[in-house]
Amino acid sequence: MAAVIRTDKLTKSYGSHRGIVDVDLEVQQGEVFGFLGPNGAGKTTTIRVLLDLIRPTSGKAFVFEIESSADPNAIHRRIGYLPGEFALYDRLTGLQTLEYFGNLRGGVDKVYQAQLIERFDLDPSRRFREYSKGNKQKVGLVAALQNKPDLLMLDEPTSGLDPLVQQTFFEVMRERVADGGTVFLSSHVLNEVERSCDRVAIIRDGRIVQTGRVDALRDLAHHQVELRFAAEPPVAEFDKLPGVTDVAVENHLIRMRVLGPITPVVQAAARLGVTDFLSREPSLEETFLALYGRESAEVKS
């Protein structure tokens, strides 16, 4: 299957300022692809290059196998886009705003538009400047979705939305995917990526540091393991195992962090007569933080 998005050593710099460096991505049709990274990591820059709003310094970007700077119109015809930060026209109502962006794409299916407005619980009669932050975001989301695009490119789409509307958004997004669409979604909200995305790429300081399926990525992370023994724990037996770090003993309890496969620890524990075994699977958020090294990936009880 051809990739919907593909980049090849994509690099963008703003003079002396770093943008993105050697970004390689591949997103397949029908995927919900999460693009994770902290503020300023390069998520928005990547999306803007993919849309040809800015041009790469080097490398190439392909959307629908069309080079982004070669024929951006052909790409734009098939995408829905929500910028991370946007301000629309203060004097237009929400409906007029949607009408305008629908018209720029050659017209809009009014029935579907009305359904989206209703599902997002948006009052379309108010002027844009009168909307709250969340309602402005709803207008942007409906504008991106209303033309039933083949590819949704969403930069932090749930920003400002309440949990109910977030749920609605994920439902609509899944419907688009079920209908053959693809979603490229940037976020720094990890649990929403964890529950909505099939695959994820993590970008840090402009470089992709990890790409993989959400569950596989989680497997790459550490496990926080607690073992209870009837007698003094055999610390040395665990200390020498591959991937085991931070071993700590408290009475008959031994705690450790296990990076990579947990099987050797399980086998050793069984052999040494463990009486209780507790292993916590890390959340993506914990994985993310561990990869970034910003804080220890302590498993919360």
Q: Which is nearer to another protein, 97 or 224 (CB)?
A: 97
CB closer to another protein out of 13 and 283: 13
Handedness of CA 152, 153, 158, 161 (dihedral sign): negative
Spatial separation of the C-alpha atoms in residues 32 and 198, rounded to whole Å = 5
**121 CB neighbour count, 10 Å cutoff:** 12
Q: Phi/psi at 184 (nearest 5 deg)?
A: -115, 115
Q: Which residues partner with 184 through β-bridges? A: 33, 153
What's the min distance (Å) between Cβ of 291 and another protein?
Answer: 30
Which CB, 35 or 62, lies closer to another protein? 62
Q: Between residues 3 and 274, which has the closer beta carbon with respect to another protein?
A: 3
Nearest approach, Cβ of residue 110 and another protein (Å): 5
> Which residues here bind another protein, judged by CB under 8 A?
1-4, 14, 29, 48, 51, 53-55, 62, 64-67, 72-74, 76-79, 81, 83, 85-89, 92, 96, 99-112, 129-130, 140, 143, 147-148, 150-151, 180-182
C-beta separation of 2 from 151 below 8 A: no
Smallest distance, another protein to C-beta of residue 5, A: 9
Q: Name the packing angle between helices 133-145 and 94-104 (round to 10°).
A: 30
Nearer to another protein, 89 or 277 (CB): 89
Residues 271 and 261: their CA atoms lie apart, in Å, by 17
Is the CB of residue 229 less than 8 Å from the CB of residue 252?
Answer: yes
Query: What is the separation of C-alpha 24 from the centre of its chain, rounded to a whole number of angstroms?
Result: 16
Minimum CB separation from another protein for residue 52, in Å? 8
Nearest distance in Å: CB 239, another protein: 50
Cα 208 from Cα 24, distance rounded (Å): 7
Shortest spacing between CB 117 and another protein, in angstroms: 14
In the complex with another protein, the residue whose CB is nearer, 144 or 208, is 144
